[in-house]
């Protein structure tokens, strides 16, 4: 399988993740979609690293993983806090900042 | 002309001002406490000024003719670098003539007012204002510089305003006072601009400073100065085009009309022109303008005088016309200055006498002013009739009364000017003499002759009438008390003798020569133009007798011709002001208001409304839904990427 196939796969994964973020109401699922988008990016980085024959993309992919891990920790903590306060995991209910 | 320092008794010339200042201060500050004796103090202070004026006059006569200009420096009013305005008193032949006129005629009129205003609860305030007027008028004629003159000029304007509106409970009087004040402001603007121009051009505002350097400024500057001074004179002296206020000013008490609006204040414009003679001599354009204004006004006032049924307004038209004669003479240069002053002094006597006579008639007729309700009063008011009649003979110029000498002097001076302008001016003056004879005979016939129209129709009462006089009622005309008739008799003597005394042997001409120069030619008493004027006057009397003496005047004014209508409406002076000045002014105001509210405010408000509306619409984007934020981020990212791709391609 040529490296270009991995790039196409990453694009498909990114679009699935993006659509998931936009249309799903459940916070957990939105969160998972974000993770999917991040991993699609990682896949693209690694593919490009392979294509160009250097390690820069792979290094960035590692950084993204580390940052994503931290983001998951903080994000899930916020999620838990919101769920405890409101008994709801819907993103549309958390719209207090409007107007 | 050189000015010497005042010495001897003239060092006390500040007393001239101090007496009436004291009177005005006591009466106006003292208030009701001075009610009982206030009028006596007012008369006394005016008389004291007159006595000092006579002493000053005798002292001046004692000096040699070139040494008769005496200056008394009182104090430095505005001493700043490069600008000196002093309060100083200049006693010279010209100013001393005015001092005698103002204090002499003023004292007589104040004595008369003691009787005339006896029933007025505010008589003390009246005398306070009158003293204030005398101070201001004396300051005007005595000041040795233009700034002091201007202070007096404004002072008489204030006194005139206060006295026209003396019966301020009458809306017409209050409106007339305001009208006079506003019309005078226009003229005052001209005078103040002239003073500023003097300072800018010559660096001085004193008479000596300006007159010594006026020749170096060229005729352009002199003409500009002259025209500005003429504007000031037009305002104060009710000359066309600023004439409209004088007829309304008759709303004031009759002594005010006699002193301020006939004898003294309205002649201040003539004084200004004669005093500024070096400026006018150097500016021929301004001189021509002065003569034109004078000629137009003398006909204008005379025509108005022909149609007025209000005795005071008829006399006011006559005042306007006579001041037109003076202005005309003052515009003729050295040939006319002395005659302008001679006519001014004689006019001061006979016009004051005529007004006091009119006041005496009104006093006897329950304040009725409509001549159509007079008639046959000569038997009932014999003293008034005789004194008024002498004033009448003086104003229409029947020899040997005053007007004959002084008016003919002006007509001759205009005639001798030569050229087309001299012809036209002399013709105007001669025709004016004929019209004067007509309207004055009309006043005389309607008031003192014919049937007693008040017996069958009653009178309505006029200015200051008692509220009980709203219905027509039959008055009981009676001669006025002695305190009123004695001043009238003295003024009548002046009307008879003043003109001849001043003109025969060139007394006044020689007396004034050091100040205003010598006329180029001297002429006799009987001259061609003078005789033509006399004949026209007799014709005028004849026409008046045919129209008003042979047939009785109807009580309701007949419809009359177009000219009569125009004259009744003051020759549309008010209509002109209203359509040319007032209405465009109102339009301008409305336009400014519209521009301000729609233009300036509109711009600011519109900007605020636009920002407010836009932010209101933008606010709706902040709906709080995370997903829509995410979508906008996505769209933004897509657009960014697309943009980058496009740029790279």
pTM score, whole prediction: 0.81
Q: How close A22 gets to chain B, by Cα (Å)?
A: 5
Residue A99 lies in a domain: no
For residue B625, which residues of chain A lie inside 8 Å, CB to CB?
91-92, 95, 98
Q: For residue B112, how many other CB atoms are within 10 A of its CB?
A: 29
pLDDT digits (tens, 9 = 90+) for A26-80: 889 999 999 999 999 999 999 999 888 889 999 999 999 999 999 999 999 998 9
* Nearest CB to B624 within list A22, A30, A98: A98
Cβ contacts below 8 Å, chain A against chain B, sum to: 31
**Rounded-to-integer distance, Cα B620 and Cα B130, Å:** 77
Q: If DSSP codes are grouped into helix, strand and coil, which group holds residue B418?
A: coil
**Rounded-to-integer distance, Cα B463 and Cα B468, Å:** 13
Which residue range(s) make up the domain with A72?
3-86
For residue B630, which residues of chain A lie inside 8 Å, CB to CB?
21-22
CATH of the domain at A55: 1.10.287.3510
For residue A99, which residues of chain B lie inside 8 Å, CB to CB?
619, 622, 624
* Nearest CB to B619 within list A22, A92, A99: A99
Q: How close B619 gets to chain A, by Cα (Å)?
A: 6
Q: What are phi and psi of B91, to 5 degrees?
A: -100, 115
The partner residues of B83 in beta bridges, in order of sequence, read B80
Give the tokens for residue B600. Answer: 């300036």
For residue A25, which residues of chain B lie inside 8 Å, CB to CB?
627
Give the tokens for residue B431. Answer: 């025709």
> Domain total for chain A?
1
Helix (H) or strand (E) holding B78: strand B70-80
* Nearest CB to A22 within list B622, B624, B627: B627
Give A21's Cβ-side CA count (13 Å radius). 21
Cβ of B630 within 8 Å of Cβ of A21? The answer is yes
How far does CA B438 lie from the centroid of its chain?
24
* C-alpha distance across the termini of chain A, in Å: 51
Residues on A contacting B at a C-beta cutoff of 8 Å: 18, 21-23, 25, 30, 91-92, 94-99
Render B119-169 in DSSP notation, one character per residue: T-TTHHHHHHHHHHHHHHHHHHHHBSBHHHHHHHHHHHHHHHHHHHTSSTT
The partner residues of B72 in beta bridges, in order of sequence, read B89
**Rounded-to-integer distance, Cα B532 and Cα B35, Å:** 54
Q: How close B648 gets to chain A, by Cα (Å)?
A: 20
Residue A97 lies in a domain: no
Q: How close B596 gets to chain A, by Cα (Å)?
A: 36
Nearest residue on chain B to A98, alpha-carbon basis: B624
Q: β-strand B83-91 against B70-80: which pairing, if any?
A: antiparallel
**Rounded-to-integer distance, Cα B268 and Cα B101, Å:** 12
Give the tokens for residue B630. Answer: 């995410």
Helix (H) or strand (E) holding B77: strand B70-80
Render A80-93 in DSSP notation, one character per residue: HHHHHHHS--BTTT
Q: For residue A86, how many other CB atoms are within 10 A of its CB?
A: 11
The partner residues of B80 in beta bridges, in order of sequence, read B83
CB B232 within 8 A of CB B273: no
Mean pLDDT, consecutive 10-residue segments, chain B of 649 residues? Answer: 80 91 93 89 94 93 88 86 86 93 95 91 92 95 93 94 91 92 92 94 90 86 94 93 91 92 92 94 92 94 91 94 95 91 94 94 87 88 94 91 90 88 92 94 92 81 54 82 93 91 87 87 80 92 90 80 83 85 91 91 92 89 81 92 90
Interface of B with A in 143-182 (CB under 8 A): none
- pLDDT-based confidence at residue A98 (cuts at 50, 70, 90): low
Q: Does B200 touch chain A (CB under 8 A)?
A: no
pLDDT of residue B7: 83
Q: How close A49 gets to chain B, by Cα (Å)?
A: 21
Cβ of B625 within 8 Å of Cβ of A99? The answer is no
Cβ of B630 within 8 Å of Cβ of A22? The answer is yes
Residue A93 lies in a domain: no
Cβ of B624 within 8 Å of Cβ of A18? The answer is no
Cβ of B627 within 8 Å of Cβ of A91? The answer is yes
Residue A94 lies in a domain: no
* C-alpha distance across the termini of chain B, in Å: 98
CB B283 within 8 A of CB B219: yes
Cβ of A98 within 8 Å of Cβ of B630? The answer is no
Q: Based on the number of CB atoms within 10 Å of its own CB, is B377 exposed (0-12), middle (13-18) or buried (19 or more)?
A: buried
CB B186 within 8 A of CB B240: no
Residue A49 lies in a domain: yes
For residue B624, which residues of chain A lie inside 8 Å, CB to CB?
95-99
Q: Based on the number of CB atoms within 10 Å of its own CB, is B255 exposed (0-12), middle (13-18) or buried (19 or more)?
A: buried
Nearest residue on chain B to A26, alpha-carbon basis: B627
CB B466 within 8 A of CB B366: yes
Give B585's Cβ-side CA count (13 Å radius). 6
Interface probe with A: pick from B616, B625, B641, most Cβ of A within 10 Å: B625
Residue A91 lies in a domain: no
Render chain A in DSSP notation, one character per residue: --HHHHHHHHHHHHHHHHHHHHH--BHHHHHHHHHHHHHHHHHHHHHHHHHHTSSHHHHHHHHHHHHHHHHHHHHHHHHHHHHHHHS--BTTT--TT--
Interface of B with A in 579-638 (CB under 8 A): 619, 622-627, 630-631, 634
Nearest residue on chain A to B629, alpha-carbon basis: A22
Q: How close A81 gets to chain B, by Cα (Å)?
A: 17
Residue A31 lies in a domain: yes
């Amino acid at each position: 399988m040529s490296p270009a196939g991995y790039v196409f796969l990453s694009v498909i994964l990114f679009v699935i993740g993006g659509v998931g973020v936009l249309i799903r109401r459940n916070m957990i699922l939105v969160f998972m979609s974000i993770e999917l988008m991040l991993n699609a990016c990682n896949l693209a980085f690694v593919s490009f690293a392979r294509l160009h024959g250097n390690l820069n993309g792979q290094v960035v992919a590692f950084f993204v993983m580390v940052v994503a891990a931290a983001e998951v920790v903080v994000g899930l903590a916020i999620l838990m806090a919101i769920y405890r306060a409101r008994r709801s995991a819907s993103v549309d209910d958390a719209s207090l900042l409007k107007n | 002309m050189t000015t010497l320092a005042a010495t001897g008794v003239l060092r006390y010339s500040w007393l001239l001002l101090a007496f009436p200042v004291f009177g005005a201060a006591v009466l106006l500050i003292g208030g009701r406490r001075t009610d009982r004796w206030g009028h006596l103090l007012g008369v006394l202070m005016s008389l004291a000024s007159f006595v000092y004026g006579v002493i000053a006059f005798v002292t001046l006569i004692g000096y040699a003719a070139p040494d008769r200009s005496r200056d008394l420096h009182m104090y430095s009013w505005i001493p700043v670098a490069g600008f000196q305005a002093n309060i100083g008193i200049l006693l010279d032949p010209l100013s001393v003539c005015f001092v005698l006129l103002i204090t002499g005629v003023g004292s007589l009129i104040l004595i008369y007012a003691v009787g005339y205003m006896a029933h007025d609860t505010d008589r003390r305030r009246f005398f306070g204002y009158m003293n204030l007027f005398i101070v201001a008028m004396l300051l005007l004629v005595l000041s040795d510089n233009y700034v002091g003159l201007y202070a007096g000029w404004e002072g008489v304007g204030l006194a005139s305003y206060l006295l026209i509106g003396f019966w301020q409970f009458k809306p017409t009087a209050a409106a007339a006072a305001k009208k006079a004040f506003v019309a005078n402001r226009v003229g005052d603007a001209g005078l103040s601009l002239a003073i500023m121009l003097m300072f800018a051009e010559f660096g001085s505002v004193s008479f000596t400073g300006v007159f010594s350097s006026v020749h170096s400024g060229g005729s352009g500057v002199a003409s500009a100065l002259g025209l500005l001074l003429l504007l000031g004179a037009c305002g104060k002296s009710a000359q066309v085009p600023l004439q409209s206020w004088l007829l309304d000013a008759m709303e004031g008490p009759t002594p005010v009309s006699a002193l301020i609006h006939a004898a003294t204040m309205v002649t201040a414009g003539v004084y200004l022109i004669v005093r500024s003679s070096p400026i006018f001599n150097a500016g021929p354009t301004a001189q021509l303008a002065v003569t034109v204004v004078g000629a137009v006004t003398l006909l204008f006032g005379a025509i108005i005088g022909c149609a007025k049924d209000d005795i005071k307004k008829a006399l006011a038209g006559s005042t306007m016309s006579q001041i037109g004669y003076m202005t005309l003479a003052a515009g003729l240069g050295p040939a006319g200055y002395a005659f302008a002053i001679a006519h001014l002094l004689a006019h001061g006597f006979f016009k004051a006498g005529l007004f006091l006579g009119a006041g005496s008639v009104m006093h006897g007729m329950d304040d009725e002013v409509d001549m159509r309700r007079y008639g046959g009063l000569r038997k009932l008011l014999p003293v008034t009739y005789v004194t008024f009649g002498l004033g009448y003979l003086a104003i229409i110029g029947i020899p040997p009364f005053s007007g004959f000498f002084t008016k003919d002097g002006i007509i001759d001076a205009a005639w001798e000017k030569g050229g087309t302008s001299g012809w036209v001016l002399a013709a105007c003056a001669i025709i004016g003499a004929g019209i004067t004879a007509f309207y004055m005979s009309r006043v005389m016939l309607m008031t003192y002759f014919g049937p007693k129209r008040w017996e069958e129709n009653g009178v309505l009462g006029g200015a200051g009438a008692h509220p009980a006089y709203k219905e027509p009622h039959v008055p009981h005309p009676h001669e006025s008390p002695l305190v009123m008739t004695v001043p009238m008799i003295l003024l009548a003597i002046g009307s008879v003798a003043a003109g001849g005394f001043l003109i025969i042997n060139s007394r006044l001409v020689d007396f004034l020569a050091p100040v205003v120069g010598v006329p180029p030619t001297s002429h006799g008493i009987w001259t061609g133009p003078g005789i033509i004027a006399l004949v026209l006057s007799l014709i005028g009397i004849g026409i008046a007798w045919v129209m008003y003496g042979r047939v009785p005047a109807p009580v309701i004014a007949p419809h009359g011709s177009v000219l009569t209508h125009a004259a009744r409406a003051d020759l549309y002076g008010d209509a002109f002001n209203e359509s040319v000045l007032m209405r465009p002014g109102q339009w301008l105001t409305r336009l400014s208001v519209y521009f301000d509210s729609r233009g300036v405010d509109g711009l600011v408000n519109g900007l605020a409304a636009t920002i407010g509306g836009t932010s209101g619409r933008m606010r709706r984007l902040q709906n709080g839904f995370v997903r829509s934020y995410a979508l906008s981020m996505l769209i933004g990212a897509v657009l960014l990427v697309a943009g980058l791709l496009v740029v790279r391609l």
